[in-house]
Structure formats: structure tokens, C-alpha cells
Structure 1
Amino acid sequence: MNQYILNLTVNAEERYLVSHIDELALKALQGMSMKTDFLDLRQQVLGEAVAVQYSDIVWKMEGGFAAAERKRLLLSPAWENEMDNHIHCLQIKPTNKKKTSLGHRDYLGAIMNLGIKRGKIGDILVNEREAYVLVDDMLSDYIGRHLERVGHSKVDTSRIDLENVIVPVSEPVQINCTIPSIRLDAVLAAALRISRSEAMKLIEAGQVQLNHQVIEKGAASVKEKDLLSIRGKGRIRIDEVGGLTKKGRHRVYLSRW
């Protein structure tokens, strides 16, 4: 593991991750096809940084469908033409035919309560009547046999082909506002319509990522095209930083999902 890769990491967990991926890459050099668990966006950045160091293997990120956020890194020897992503899609439908209020956390919690780790679960796409869950192929049968309820609702679980996954289209909400300074806490407060002190609590709790990296300082500077991810509250992109108002506040134009 070279020093450049280690310098990208910010904690012991990330150092363990890049070390593990480096080991997988070395096994791919020896002729074995390897894969990681599902990675979040920050972990994908680190995984790619490791993979590009090896010119004699092939690799790609795969989440089961084009717009997937959680993806696994596949690594294979250079002579291998096809790479199996080892991802299955489960359709989970409440048996009650009425619309439900079940959300992402409900489905994720129900699956993890079966003893399945988060890294084995990819994206979870939820609509009013069902959810599509991307999972490690070794666990799809187990989940199908044992998942009986999500929240208070009984559910039926079946496997479907990945090409039949219905991906919801989410249009961003445009936000035009003025803020006192181009700081993380100020942008977050304006976008979420909360106070600066409430924004600081989210930041200090490690619930905010700036460009896929957790930032715990509200005074951190932000700029155009930066992406904020807030746990449980979606994402915010800084589209444009405009000029100053007569009162010296900064005009900013944001998109929120």
C-alpha cells in the first residue's frame, strides 16, 4: 500500500478498507475474480484510488442499475472478459393492497434484523406499494425465506431480473437564498430551513458529508458544484454562488434531493 493511498484516508476504518481492497487487487493479479461489499460514495472514491494503481487487472463499480448509489467494486485478471456483479434484486410487497407509509429505514431495518450486515445490501428503491432491494446474491434466498414483516406489515418477497427494476425519477427542488457567509453550516441551515445551531448539531454528529467525506466543522468553506449529503435528509448541490446583496449577504443557488 503506497503512501498516496494512505494519505487519502481520514480514520482507521478507511485505512482498513483500502488495505482490504489492496489485498483483493493482489488476488486479482494472481488470476482470481474478487468483489467488495456494497460501498457508499466515499468508499467508492477510495476503492477506485486503489484499483487504478494496478494496470494488469480490470475493475469496475457495479450497483445493479445505472443510477445506483451503493456499488460494489469488481476486480478481475486482465484476461477475463465478463465480470459477474453477484447482485440480485428482491421485490418486497406488503400483502395489504393499500398504499403504505413504509420507507427506506423500515425495509433496511427489517433486513438487517435478520442478521445481515449493511455492506451486503445495496440500494433500496421505495414506492407507495413496494420496494426493490439490491442484495448480495448469496443472501437473496435467505432473505426471501425469512423476511415476513416490514414494520407492522406482512410482506411477500420475490426475486426479479435486474432489468425490471423500476427506478423512481427524482427531480431536485431549486432553492435560491442569501446567507451571511459561504460556510458549510450556513448553506446547510438555509437549504434545510433550520437554525445555524441545529445545522451545527448535524455536522458535529458526523451526519454531513462534503463531497463524500464526513466533515465535522461548520466553518468549512464550500464552493460551486460541491455536494452535501445529510444522513436521512437527502442531498444538496451548490449550483452557483452569486454576488452580494446590499446588506452584504451572499446569494446562493442550490438543488436539493
Structure 2
Amino acid sequence: MQMQSQEKEVRNLEKRFAELSRTAYQREIITYTDFLNLNEQNILHTLPKDMLYTQFISFGGYETAERQMTAFIPEALYLRYGKKDLSPDETGYPFCAVRICPVNIRFSEQLTHRDYLGAVLNLGVERSRTGDIIPDEKEAMIFVHNDIAELILNELTRIRHTSVKTERVPLCDIRYVPRYDEIRGTVASVRLDSLLALAFTGSRSKLSGLIEGAKVYVNGRLITSNGYQPEEGNIISVRGMGKFRYDGCTGRSRKNRLTVAVSKYI
């Protein structure tokens, strides 16, 4: 029964993507999804091309965002702009960021990602209308659909025991640069399981279960093959563990193993 329910959800999502693409094509406008999680992005990436009428691009507010909104863009708009690629500003994504800060830092708690998310959802907001949440030491930034931004700005005044204030931040003013640790090591070959073992400091045999368990995504695509070979610049996300960027092969060791580098996001 659960499997049938999941299959139905997938079919409904596929139909929704196709409908948005068809509308964009017929009306020569850009259409948008809600924020998509990794599973939903994978469904979009694996959708048969004959179900789509347009190209699509995804963006989540910053370069390596996990939750992303997809825009379906008709060929007519590319011709109108006279270029093959549109920037996020030109695409006009209907979302912004909201910065959440304590009213008085001296009387504030150390809030977590879960605290911020829970407070927003308790306002009656659906998760699909929110993107990534980026917590810092004493504040956080959350990406939200424009149509719920005012609700959060007006109603979010307290998280746990901390009084908070909010501020809208336009996408063009976002200057967030993810922090990461650079990790270097040697591998016999550039395989997905080898890179996981390097990034998360574990054995290939142990971490390969994450791949087989459908928990590993490369640039939003679900990968279930341990031997998959990522390309330089690919973002590899592991549900429940984090993500890292594969920075490429830098040479060979004395034992003729490949020297590779990854950037693990903090």
C-alpha cells in the first residue's frame, strides 16, 4: 500500500512538471515550481524529455542550495533575451530571503535549524514554500516564497524562549558564501563510494550502503551505483550526513593511486 502511495505521488509530480512546462510553452511565460527537495529534483531530472515542452533551470538562492525552485523557460524568451542562459535575476524567481535575528543578543538562546524550521511551520506555512535555512551563531536566513514572506515578517516574533525580529532580503542582496573544509586523499579510482569514504572518513563498504539505500544525490540526481564516477565540480549530497563538492584529481601518489580533493560543507 505504501509503495502504491509513493508511486502515485511520483506520477502526480510528473504530471505537475509537465503541466507547468506546457503552460510556459503555450503562454510564452516562465512558470515555477515550489521549492523541491532532493527526491523531487531527481524526479524532474529523470522525467522523459517528451513530457516537457521547455527547458528548465533550478535555483535556491545561492550556489549550492539543497532545496531549489525550478523555472520552466520557453524558447521564445531565450530568443527575446538573445542568449542561451538566463541569470536568476532575469528568471525572476518569486522568492526572497528573510533574516531572523534576536531582539536582544544577551538574552538569546543558541537556536538550531530545527528550531527555526519549526517556528516557521507553526505559522501554518507548508514546507514546500520554504527553501534552505542557513543558521549562524546568533541568527539565520531562510528562503521563502514571496507570498508567505509578509506572514513571516509580521507573525514570527518568538522562537523557543528568544524574542526575534525579521527582515526581508532581496535575492540580489544575498552574499552568502558556504564554508567548507578542504580534504585531500588518495583513491584507487574516482568512484562515488571512494569519495564518500574520503569526505565522511569511513570505509567504502560501510558507506556504500548509503548509495544502495538511495540516500546519495549528485547535482540533484539520485545515484544508486557505487561505481558511478562524478565529474569535477559535482555537488554530492548524502541525506542525514551533509554534502561536499568534488574538486578533481590533482595527480598520482608514489603508489600510483589518484590524489583527489573534495570540499566538505560545514
Q: Shared fold (TM-score greater than 0.5)?
A: yes
Q: Hey, what does 2:163 align to over in structure 1? A: 154
Distance 1:159 1:171 in 2: 23
Q: Is the contact made by 1:240 and 1:254 (CA closer than 8 Å) also made in structure 2? A: no
Task: State the Cα distance separating 1:188 from its structure 2 match.
Answer: 0.9
Q: Hey, what does 1:214 align to over in structure 2? A: 222
Identity %: 32
Q: Which moved more, 1:96-105 or 1:22-31?
A: 96-105
Structure with higher helix content? 2
Q: Hey, what does 1:38 align to over in structure 2? A: 35
Q: Deviations over 1:170-208 (max 9, x none)?
A: 354322212355432332122111334542454344332
Q: Hey, what does 1:183 align to over in structure 2? A: 191
Q: Hey, what does 1:17 align to over in structure 2? A: 13
Task: State the Cα distance separating 1:34 from its structure 2 match.
Answer: 3.2
After the TM superposition, which residues 98-117 of structure 1 pair with which residues of structure 2 at under 5 Å, given as runs? 98=106, 101-117=110-126
1:97 aligns with 2:105: yes
SS in 2 for 1:132: strand
SS in 2 for 1:106: helix
Distance 1:38 1:249 in 2: 41
Q: Hey, what does 1:5 align to over in structure 2? A: none
Q: Is the contact made by 1:100 and 1:128 (CA closer than 8 Å) also made in structure 2? A: no
Distance 1:245 1:95 in 2: 57
Q: Is the contact made by 2:215 and 2:222 (CA closer than 8 Å) also made in structure 1? A: yes
Q: Is the contact made by 1:35 and 1:75 (CA closer than 8 Å) also made in structure 2? A: yes
Residues 83 and 195 (structure 1 numbering): CA distance in 2 closer, same or farther, change over 3 Å?
closer
Distance 2:50 2:151 in 1: 31
Q: Hey, what does 1:28 align to over in structure 2? A: 24
Listed as ranges, the gaps of 5+ residues in structure 1 are 1-10
Q: Hey, what does 2:237 align to over in structure 1? A: 229
SS in 2 for 1:124: strand
After the TM superposition, which residues 58-137 of structure 1 pair with which residues of structure 2 at under 5 Å, given as runs? 61=58, 63=60, 65=61, 67=63, 69=65, 70-75=67-72, 78=76, 84-98=92-106, 101-137=110-146
Distance 2:123 2:139 in 1: 19
Q: TM-score, normalised by structure 2?
A: 0.69
Task: State the Cα distance separating 1:235 from its structure 2 match.
Answer: 1.5
Q: State the aligned residue count.
A: 241
SS in 2 for 1:134: strand
SS in 1 for 2:105: coil
Residues 47 and 250 (structure 1 numbering): CA distance in 2 closer, same or farther, change over 3 Å?
closer
Task: State the Cα distance separating 1:14 from its structure 2 match.
Answer: 5.0
Structure scoring higher RCO (CA < 8 A, sep ≥ 6) equals 2
RMSD: 3.9
SS in 2 for 1:139: helix
Residues 251 and 151 (structure 1 numbering): CA distance in 2 closer, same or farther, change over 3 Å?
farther
SS in 1 for 2:69: strand
Listed as ranges, the gaps of 5+ residues in structure 2 are 1-6, 82-89
Q: Hey, what does 1:251 align to over in structure 2? A: 259
Q: Hey, what does 1:54 align to over in structure 2? A: 53
Distance 1:133 1:243 in 2: 42
